[in-house]
């Protein structure tokens, strides 16, 4: 279970190395597992703006799981997306290059109610992944 997008590439490398040892490793990332119908329901106009770092989906999930650590008075709507794509390439790799506060997207509409729905949906997707991994033959 990966909780940080910055870990994805190294986890993928480890998973490939484990495959060489005849071990199949699945990498679960909660933000990729949110069903499309939920993102469309909560964020119909522009899902990408609500799915970024510290944006609505992540903040909602934390409001549900760890409300004591979330300070909604500090929530921001930052009109930026992940690494800008120019001329077929990605021109930056660090969040600090395109946001000065760490937020990528909109977080002001986050709620624990949305977080609960996201959490439960992600848990169902994780269960499906575990069942799939149990059946993989290598």
Decide yes or no: CATH 3.40.50.10310 for domain 5-135: yes
pLDDT digits (tens, 9 = 90+) for 5-29: 889 999 999 999 999 999 988 899 9
How buried is residue 38: exposed, middle or buried, by Cβ count under 10 Å (0-12/13-18/19+)? middle
Is residue 129 over pLDDT 70? yes
pLDDT band for position 52 (50/70/90)? confident
* Under 8 Å between Cβ of 88 and 33: no
pLDDT band for position 38 (50/70/90)? very high
* High-pLDDT (> 90) share of the chain, %: 56
- Mean pLDDT taken over the chain: 89
Rounded to whole angstroms, the Cα distance separating 56 from 41 reads 13
Specify the DSSP element, H or E, that contains 121: helix 112-135
Is residue 84 over pLDDT 70? no
Beta bridge partners of 98: none
The reply to whether the predicted model has a pTM over 0.95 is: no
């Amino acid at each position: 279970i990966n909780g940080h997008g910055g870990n994805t590439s190294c986890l993928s490398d480890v998973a490939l190395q484990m495959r060489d040892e005849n071990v199949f490793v699945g990498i679960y990332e909660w933000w990729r597992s949110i069903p499309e119908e939920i993102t469309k329901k909560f964020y119909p106009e522009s899902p990408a703006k609500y799915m970024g770092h510290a944006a609505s989906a992540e903040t909602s999930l934390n409001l549900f799981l760890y409300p004591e650590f979330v300070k909604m008075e500090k929530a921001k709507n930052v009109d930026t997306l992940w690494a800008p794509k120019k001329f077929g390439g990605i021109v930056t790799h660090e969040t600090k290059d395109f946001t000065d506060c760490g937020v990528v997207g909109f977080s002001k509409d986050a709620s624990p109610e949305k977080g609960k729905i996201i959490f439960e949906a992600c848990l169902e997707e994780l269960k499906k992944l575990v069942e799939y991994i149990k059946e993989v033959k290598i």
